[in-house]
Structure 1
Amino acid sequence: LPAYIKAFPRIMELEDTQYLWRKGALSIPDTTLRNELIKCYIQHVHPSLPLINLSDFLQGFGKGGSEVAKTSLLLFQALMFAGTAYIDLSYLQTAGYSTRRDARTAFYQKTRLLYDFDFEVDRLTVVQSLLLMTYQHETPIDGKDEWHWLGIAISLIYTTGLHMDPQIYNMDVQNQRLRKRVWWSCVMRDRLLALGMRRPSRINDGDYNVPMLAIDDFEIKPLESHNLIFSSECRLVSDTTLQKELALIFISKAELCLCIGHILSTQYTSLVRDQGMEPDQEGEQGSRVNLFPKPLTKADGVNFCEAKLTNWLEKLPAPCRYVTQTPNDLQQRGSSLIIERAVLHMVYFSASTTLHRPQIMPSRESSLCHYRDLQEISWKRLREASEEITKISMDLHNLEVTRYLPATGVTILLTAITTHLLDIKITNNITRKEQARQGLSDCIQSLEELRDNYRPADDAIRFVGIALRQVDIDV
């Protein structure tokens, strides 16, 4: 193994080592591909999941790097896997992969094999790797999808004590800050996957006492790339202003995820679904527990959640506020900031949709005056959210950076598409109907751009096609 990889953490049977070698789990990409994957991880994964000390990681590639700076093989393979979603396809094709999704599957299998063989003994490292494995979005036959890996990560986090304020432990400040970032990365994955997959959150607000993140918890300093050769596009390594802005966005997203958790816990209930049903024709078994809107939601509860979202939006720091970016902005600042800021606001509007969509559904209470008022407000919020999500997606399309969206972007686009479909079907206003039709077309275009990366985009396109045929809509 290269000098920047830690030695095997435990003695393994020769047969197991040979098996891992034959399956490619012990192989490292060539230097060109490795450097490009690291660059993509730094630009497009680390800002939204800052769960390693980047300075230590990069130092490991320098001459005479310390043992602390060396990286676990499990974690390294997980980092490589995460980078495959964003690397230029030509690098993967040169390495022998026909498609991006083929490459993602191969790199994911390397990581999973190491995990399955209990290769790593350090629990924090395993948690970091599992959180990166939640970026696997192909649907496996054995049911071990992103929700599965997140569940294991959360279980390990509680047994490792990462849910406790790190100041109670006798450790240096750098490790305290790392543990806080890992914890909040886990909370964020929990809330965003729950939001997108309509599953109940596993982390409850009363189960931890880790303080909210602050700027001091992030690495805000020029980082040495050592022997890694990065292009000037990788500004995050040296641009401290960019580092601070991305840190502020991450903190704001963590705060937003607390609002999302409150919406899901107060406006939705967990119900068992598909009990006793056979797997579908593709061999996939549906989730046993999903979230469904509560049958009766009081207006006060909706208004309380709405106030939390509004308060979050009004208190956003200036670098986190959304402004349409120009090609010159892209050239000057790079794609990382543009994407992270866009995703932050897309998640906000998706949360608003999740809050208000149940309120427009017909019910016995719909005839009451105050419920009609609530429905009108909710319809207004739904339309605003779908229009803003569509606008942001088209801003990214015009800058040709849509492909850098995470898989979360797929589920968010679907929330906008659903509202556009409803508007087309039920509105009598010709202008609004045409606006919804155009918005639907724009969102489908963005989904098409994500199909190269994620299977959920395929599923979403298939769902939209069925919906369009059912309501006889042509776009």
Structure 2
Amino acid sequence: MPLKRAKQACLHCHRRRIRCDVLQQQPCSNCVTQEVPCEVGVSRRGKYPRKKTTKTSLESSSATIQPPPQSHSQLLPLPDLTSPTTITSTNASTLPISARQIVNDSTVFLGESSPLTSVMDPTQPPKLQYPLPDRLAPSSTRDDAVRLHQVQQAAQLESSGALSFPPDATINALLQAYFRWFHPCFPIVDRAAVFRARTNTPARTGVSSIPPLLLQSMLFIGVSLCDDQTFAKTEFPVRYRAKFLFYSRAKAIYEADAEASPIVKLQALFMLSFWRGGPSEERDVRYWLGIAISLAQKRGMHMMSQFSPPPREKKLWKRIWWALYTRDQQSAAALGLPPRIRDEDGDVEMLYPDDILDEESVENDIYGPQKRQDLVYPVEMAKLARLLRTIVSTQYLHHQQPDLATRNSLNKQLCLWESHLPVELRLDHVSPDSLFLTGLLHMTYQNLYILLHRRTFLDPTPHDSGQIALDAATKSTRILEDLLSHHLVQHAPPHLITHAFSTLCIHTIHHRRNSGTMRTLAEHRARLCLLSLEELQKSWDLENWVLHLFFRGLDDRTAESLRRMSESHVDHQETQGPNVTPGDATTIVAAPDNLPTGPPASSGEMFMPMAQDDWYGWVPWEDQADALNLQNLEFLYRFL
């Protein structure tokens, strides 16, 4: 007769796989014989985490947000504001394998070149998403050291103020600026989900059910783009300090790995890419965008057509992907660096207005209504981003030799894009309500002409004088004048900095080549560009030394002519809030007491050439007639 298995064994006997009599006596006989401590472990049978039963309707589950934890320090996964739909157990069985897997965060994407694909069952459809074991899930804390580290990180975030937020009135004002100026350009969050999360914030705790990483990032964008009157009502003394506050908090939360949702991380990383540090700062736009793009590709976003996620989640994925694509192409072209996203690596279909349309309307002054131009602007910007990619790859790669036929072909593509433009975004149908997005779109469009014909404008040939670049710069200046007259430039995304500076360079060269009326007109247009850059400085902190280098590249006569603009213009003071001393400001994460308050206060300081500095020797130019050449322009172009 086989021996009966003991119902329980002490830890020592369990490790040695020997029979234990700890239920009859303790210490057990084996431990007494071996003279070792006899400890009884706690059984984990039946105590593994079970999946919660989901609702039986996709529609009902999308409208549900889980209650928030009592404290942000608990570091538990907060409600996913990004993909509010879930697959039910009933519906999942009827979907393809890849569709069932993509809705679960506990999956890993492996492309077709992975060796794992070679051992899969050839009779089954190709699979690119593979489930992870529960013990490897993002929320798993299978190691005591990991759990201890999480507790320590939570305590550190609490003590540093990274999980602190301003009063509700300030949050609402900054969120209003976010949804008015940023969200129409980059609709990467679910407006209705954010509204529900803010509405469901329990009064007893005051803890928002928006993930802290996402909320701090949104507040960083909001405080950058809000108008001066709104900022004056906040408790912050200087806008630059407020931006650094929210940026530092979001960065600290991300680097502590306190957020489990990959989509929330993607959204926050995209927003952090709008931080404009110094020229030597490593965590710049390319740093944050690179992490975001890598995370998106790791999730398989670039192969979206291979999966069948729920419609609402698919729309969100497309919006995030095309926002990453657009910003990646813009920043790469401005910096003269290769883009991280290549068209040949993915198969994401183009955006459509239905992808941007809110499935739930939000009747609230903070989150604002969705307008028709909000639906078509991101679509058209994505199309222009693809054209930008083509222009750079055919005109500016070192192994490419630009030719007239290629430029003519690209000209036709640009004209074709304009001919199919929706009426809501046409300049001849612009209204005060649609001027902001229409102006931004056409500034981007005209900048593509400047980029395409800039070389021939700087070095004309018998077949191409580059007149198209000058015409595009003239049209861009008219748009800037309209945006300035309606006080809209300050709220524009940072790619307008590149467009305004590119336009400024064209007008400056035209100014030097001409005399009389043409010279006066060019000077006037250049001044408008400088005024636009001054307005953009309120939001995005222009690197002033780049503009000083710009003036260094001019001959004395041209520099003096443009400099009169800054001398006659009213000095611009950095926006101030109420009478609050820097010591009264909210604690800034890892911020020293001597934190710089941002760019110089006056426009005169901003645009006046400086005395020779340590950096002056970086650029081998002198104040001579041909100083502002192609190489100098491209050097400056990299930093704006």
Q: Which residue in 1 is equivalent to 2:177?
A: 40
Q: 1:425 to 1:142 in 2, by over 3 A?
A: closer
- Matches of 1:72 and 1:120 in 2, distance apart? 8
User: 1:8 is aligned with what amino acid?
Assistant: L
Q: Which residue in 2 is equivalent to 1:199?
A: 337
- Matches of 2:439 and 2:543 in 1, distance apart? 18
1:467, distance to aligned residue in structure 2 (A): 3.5
SS at match of 1:316: coil
1:83-118 CA distances to partner (integer Å, 9 max, x unpaired)? 111123455455443321221111111111111111
- Matches of 1:439 and 1:457 in 2, distance apart? 21
- Matches of 2:429 and 2:353 in 1, distance apart? 25
- Matches of 2:544 and 2:267 in 1, distance apart? 28
Q: Which residue in 1 is equivalent to 2:136?
A: none
1:251, distance to aligned residue in structure 2 (A): 0.5
Contact 2:489 2:532 (C-alpha < 8 Å) held by counterparts: yes
Q: Which residue in 2 is equivalent to 1:24?
A: 161
1:232-283 CA distances to partner (integer Å, 9 max, x unpaired)? xx6xx335xx1x321111101111111000001111126xxxxxxxxxxxxx
User: Quick check: 1:177 aligned with 2:329?
Assistant: no
Query: Percent identity between the aligned chains?
Result: 23
Q: Which residue in 1 is equivalent to 2:361?
A: 223
Where does the alignment leave 5 or more consecutive residues of structure 1 unmatched? 271-293
User: 2:322 is aligned with what amino acid?
Assistant: W
Contact 1:157 1:163 (C-alpha < 8 Å) held by counterparts: yes
- Report how many residues are paired: 418
SS at match of 2:462: helix
Instruction: Work out which of the residue numbers 405, 410, 414 in structure 2 matches 1:309.
Output: 414
Contact 2:247 2:272 (C-alpha < 8 Å) held by counterparts: yes
User: Quick check: 1:98 aligned with 2:237?
Assistant: yes
User: 1:306 is aligned with what amino acid?
Assistant: N
User: Quick check: 1:402 aligned with 2:540?
Assistant: no
User: Quick check: 1:113 aligned with 2:258?
Assistant: no
Q: Which residue in 1 is equivalent to 2:403?
A: 298
- Matches of 2:427 and 2:68 in 1, distance apart? 39
Q: Which residue in 2 is equivalent to 1:276?
A: none
1:27, distance to aligned residue in structure 2 (A): 0.8
1:16, distance to aligned residue in structure 2 (A): 1.9
User: 1:251 is aligned with what amino acid?
Assistant: V
Q: 1:63 to 1:150 in 2, by over 3 A?
A: closer
- Matches of 1:100 and 1:301 in 2, distance apart? 45
- Matches of 1:322 and 1:169 in 2, distance apart? 39
1:430, distance to aligned residue in structure 2 (A): 2.2
- Matches of 2:166 and 2:158 in 1, distance apart? 14
Q: 1:324 to 1:259 in 2, by over 3 A?
A: same
Q: Which residue in 1 is equivalent to 2:221?
A: 82
User: 2:440 is aligned with what amino acid?
Assistant: V
User: 1:348 is aligned with what amino acid?
Assistant: Y
SS at match of 2:198: coil
User: Quick check: 1:267 aligned with 2:395?
Assistant: yes
1:462, distance to aligned residue in structure 2 (A): 2.5
1:446, distance to aligned residue in structure 2 (A): 1.4
User: 2:254 is aligned with what amino acid?
Assistant: Y
Q: Which residue in 1 is equivalent to 2:584?
A: none
1:111-165 CA distances to partner (integer Å, 9 max, x unpaired)? 1111111111222221111111111112275411011111111111111101122
User: Quick check: 1:347 aligned with 2:450?
Assistant: no
Q: 1:17 to 1:140 in 2, by over 3 A?
A: farther
1:212, distance to aligned residue in structure 2 (A): 0.5
Q: 1:324 to 1:450 in 2, by over 3 A?
A: farther
Contact 2:394 2:400 (C-alpha < 8 Å) held by counterparts: no
User: 1:75 is aligned with what amino acid?
Assistant: L
Mean alpha-carbon deviation: is it higher for 179-188 or for 454-463? 454-463
- Matches of 1:176 and 1:121 in 2, distance apart? 20
- Matches of 1:321 and 1:222 in 2, distance apart? 28
Per residue, is there more helix in 1 or in 2?
A: 1
Contact 2:457 2:469 (C-alpha < 8 Å) held by counterparts: no
Contact 1:410 1:457 (C-alpha < 8 Å) held by counterparts: no
1:177-208 CA distances to partner (integer Å, 9 max, x unpaired)? 11111111111111111232222222111111
- Matches of 1:111 and 1:220 in 2, distance apart? 27
SS at match of 2:397: strand
1:463, distance to aligned residue in structure 2 (A): 3.6
SS at match of 1:85: helix
1:451-475 CA distances to partner (integer Å, 9 max, x unpaired)? 2222226345334433445554313
Mean alpha-carbon deviation: is it higher for 214-223 or for 34-43? 214-223
- Matches of 1:4 and 1:341 in 2, distance apart? 39
User: 2:454 is aligned with what amino acid?
Assistant: R
Q: 1:34 to 1:115 in 2, by over 3 A?
A: same
Q: Rg bigger for which structure?
A: 2
Contact 1:221 1:238 (C-alpha < 8 Å) held by counterparts: no
- Matches of 2:159 and 2:548 in 1, distance apart? 37
User: 2:347 is aligned with what amino acid?
Assistant: N
Contact 2:473 2:507 (C-alpha < 8 Å) held by counterparts: yes
1:24, distance to aligned residue in structure 2 (A): 2.0
1:61, distance to aligned residue in structure 2 (A): 2.2
1:317, distance to aligned residue in structure 2 (A): 0.9
Instruction: Work out which of the residue numbers 499, 506, 511 in structure 2 matches 1:412.
Output: 499
